[in-house]
Structure 1
Amino acid sequence: MRHRPIVPLAALAVTGTLLLSGCGTATAEAESEATAGTTDRTVEAHEVMRLTEPHPETGMTLLEGPTFGPDGRLVVVDVTAPEGEPKVMGVQLADGTVEALHTEGGAYTSAQFSPYDGRLYLSDYAAGEIVSLAPDGGDARTFFSEPVDGARMQPDDVAFDEEGNLYVSDSLGLSEGENRGRVVRISRDGTESAVLADNLAATNGISFDAAYDGLWFSELTANRISYLGIGPEGEVTSRHTAIRVDGGVAQTDSIAVDADGNLYVGLHGRPAMAVYSPNGDRIATVEVPPGTEGLESATNVAITPGGTTAYMTVSGPAGGYLYSFDAFAEGTRQSNGG
């Protein structure tokens, strides 16, 4: 959602060349193998279906989520849907049918199923709350709505650790243009909260890495992705800026991670996603087909669990769409983009 340092490899390449100099043709072969798969290339996504049209009440539509439910449905939220319209939708990808799962509440900017209780958790950016639903969309409950360190959250995306504790990208300060964003941890029962990182530039995407050793999080107005090492009790063990995104007019949005640890980063302001290796190599840019009109942002993605088909949420004046492409590795829990 809008409210919502590429690590340079040149030095590594030079080092590799120096180490291999004098090896004749072996040098070129070794360099070719070392750089295979690290070149940024374009991957064309294909339209699956249109889910929404711009709402007269809000003047726009903005799809987010998406996440696969236990029944195989793809759950998607519409951030700008007015009260009474589908704010949370379940999509049967096999036949393209769409069911309204929830029509009440504020501006839901993400959706995730908890590994602890199996419920669907939504971040309500407008209300500053985390809400949970039964998998079928019923039994709505306010899970967390308290101030954290004296400030009420503006929660954007959510990630779960293996025990079901929540890690929230808090975009606090975005509307004022101030770097007051945070990464917040909430215990799985909602009774405890802690700020893990602060003074951030509109925190947006958040996802664990493939091994659950740390969190990737993006900052919308700084176009960068940082890494937080996370210990066994949820404590921060390290922190550094990991990737600087060359987005041009676009800004870093949500993050999903595949089984090989690759990062899929949504771009707000451009209907595309940037794909990075865990070492910071930009390995691909996923684009809608050339000439496609009326689409402005690709906010998020979910990769089929155990498969490689990725479903990207794309929105603009033309409406809210699902596009698909082949991911670089299989989908896991972290492959649901917040």
Structure 2
Amino acid sequence: MRRLSPRTLSALAAVGALILTGCGTEQGGSESGTAPGSEGRTIRAQKVMRLTQVHAETGMTLLEGPVFADDGGLIVVDVTAPAGKPKVMRVDVAKKTSRAVHTDDRGAYTSAQFSPYDGRLYLSDFAHGEIVSLAPDGSDPRTFFSGEVAGARMNPDDIAFDPEGNLYVSDSRGLSEGKPHGRVVRIGREGGGATVLAEDLAAPNGISFDADYRGLWFSELTENRISYLRLDEKGGVTSRHTAIRVDGGLAQSDSIAVDADGNLYQGLHGRAAMAVYDRHGERLATVELPSRAEGLESATNVAVTPGGTRAYMTVSGPAGGYLYAFDALAEGVRQSNGG
């Protein structure tokens, strides 16, 4: 492996120095049963396909941000892809094929989401503190937001949109230093009016509206907890509380998706699984890979098919970046499609 540039090293440190280990996986069937302890039933995911291999330039691959386009194509980002390799991909899940949509020489994209306001694809660039957007086909890249928010530059991780197209961003500022400097930030749909909704957070990662758009769920990676922000009609915070404590053991809470029934799908970094909770905090299920799948250690995010229950989660390790599928507990909506 060639020597990494300071920029690459900085970017990889910023995304948590994710050194993933593992080897190949095999397709498994769909199983369910009663898991021991408080993890509810077990849902066995099935391998769909491998999308990426470990990049020699960065020493890893990390898939994130699955989101369905209006025509049914699944968009996925590779956080650690080097310049020239696909950083945004489009997957045909039926044909099990993929193609490159976008690459560049600087971005470290940790999430993807389509705006209900202009229909463009929005990406969070963790390394450079920016939100960029693309046309749905990957053309016409634009910088939507860059600069400081309340005197500090962001490390934007995940994105959620309200129905009007305003962005709500988990800002993992402080992650690389292990400091609770993280924030939840709101950005107006035209790219202005950035405001801090919550601060002094421990590496906020996942963020999603609840089923009724009355509030935001967000997870904190280094505290393994999910909090809830109640919002008013103008996007201001009326209350905040810790809602769920994630018993992850060695794993940490990653991205969040919410289905039509309000259930939360909490991705886990450090374990190839997702924890599923209802809106009252009860652990309903754990989504696991087949028992013979070895080595893959992180299930970062999931997209549930809009109007359907088939869910596709991104799983990564030294064997590469994979898509696994399972049946969600309820139908997919905007809150379970990207972020």
TM-score between both structures, scaled by the size of structure 1: 0.89
Equivalence for 1:233: 234
Return the offset for 1:248: 0.2
Distance 1:139 1:39 in 2: 45
Distance in 2 of aligned mates of 1:211 and 1:226: 17
Distance in structure 1 (CA, Å) of the matches to 2:177 and 2:326: 37
TM-aligned CA distance change 1:291 to 1:94, over 3 Å? closer
Q: Aligned equivalents of 2:303 and 2:235: distance in 1?
A: 25
Partner of 2:63: 63
For 1:119-158, list aligned pairs within 5 A. 119-158=120-159
Q: Give secondary structure in 2 for the equivalent of 1:334.
A: helix
- Structure 1 residues 138 and 167: CA distance shift in structure 2, 3 A: same
Question: Over residues 123-155 of structure 1, what are the superposed CA-to-partner deviations in whole Å (9 max), with x where a residue is unaligned?
Answer: 000111000000000100000002000000000
Q: Which runs of 4+ in 1 moved over 4 A?
A: none
Q: Distance in 2 between the 1:80 and 1:176 partners?
A: 20
Task: Tell me, yes or no, if structure 1 residue 88 matches structure 2 residue 88.
Answer: yes
- Cα distance in 1 for partners of 2:338, 2:99 equals 21
Equivalence for 1:290: 291
Report if aligned partners of 1:254, 1:337 keep a CA contact under 8 Å in 2: no
Shift of 1:94: 1.8
Does the 8 A contact of 1:3 with 1:171 survive in 2? no
The 3-state SS of whatever aligns with 2:149 is coil
Q: What SS class does the counterpart of residue 323 from structure 1 fall into?
A: strand
Q: Give the whole-Å Cα distance in 1 for the aligned partners of 2:305 and 2:69.
A: 10
Q: What is residue 49 of structure 2 aligned with on the other side?
A: 49
CA drift of 1:255 comes to: 0.1
CA contact (8 A) 1:165 1:187 kept: yes
1:281 aligns with 2:248: no
| 2:323 corresponding residue in structure 1 | 322
Q: CA deviation at 1:237?
A: 1.1
Deviation at 1:294, TM superposition (A): 2.6
Displacement after TM superposition at 1:291 (Å): 2.4
Distance between the aligned counterparts of 2:295 and 2:138, measured in 1? 30
User: SS of the residue aligned with 2:335?
Assistant: helix
The Cα shift of 1:39 comes to: 6.7
Distance in 2, Cα, partners of 1:66 & 1:194: 27
Give CA-to-partner distance per residue, 1:159-194, whole Å, 9 cap, x none. 000000000000000111100000000000001100
Task: Tell me how far apart the structure 1 counterparts of residues 292 and 240 of structure 2 sit (CA, whole Å).
Answer: 41
Q: Which residue of 2 aligns with 1:216?
A: 217
- 1:180-199 aligned at under 5 Å gives the runs 180-199=181-200
2:77 match: 77
Q: CA RMSD in A?
A: 1.3
Larger Rg: 1
Does the aligned pair in 2 maintain the 1:207–1:337 contact within 8 Å? no
- Range with bigger deviation, 229-238 or 155-164: 229-238
> What are the Cα deviations for residues 264-301 of structure 1, in whole angstroms up to 9, with x where unaligned?
00000000000000000000000001121231100000
Tell me if the contact between 2:68 and 2:338 (Cα under 8 Å) persists in the aligned partners. Answer: no
Deviations 1:200-239 (CA, angstroms, capped at 9, x unpaired): 0001000000000000000000000000001110100110
Aligned residues: 305
1:39-68 deviations in Å (ceiling 9; x for gaps): 711110000000000000001100001000
The aligned amino acid for 1:76 is: V
Rounded Cα–Cα distance in structure 1 between residues aligned with 2:308 and 2:72: 12
3-state secondary structure, aligned to 1:206: strand
CA–CA separation in structure 2 for the residues paired with 1:297 and 1:94: 24
| Partner residue, 2:247 | 246
- What 5-or-longer segments of structure 2 have no aligned partner? 1-11, 17-37
SS at match of 1:80: coil
Q: Which TM-score applies when normalising by structure 2?
A: 0.88
Structure-to-structure mapping, 1:298-313, within 5 angstroms: 298-313=299-314
How far has the Cα of 1:3 moved from its partner? 3.6
Cα distance in 2 for partners of 1:39, 1:63 equals 25
Unaligned runs of 5+ in 1: 5-37
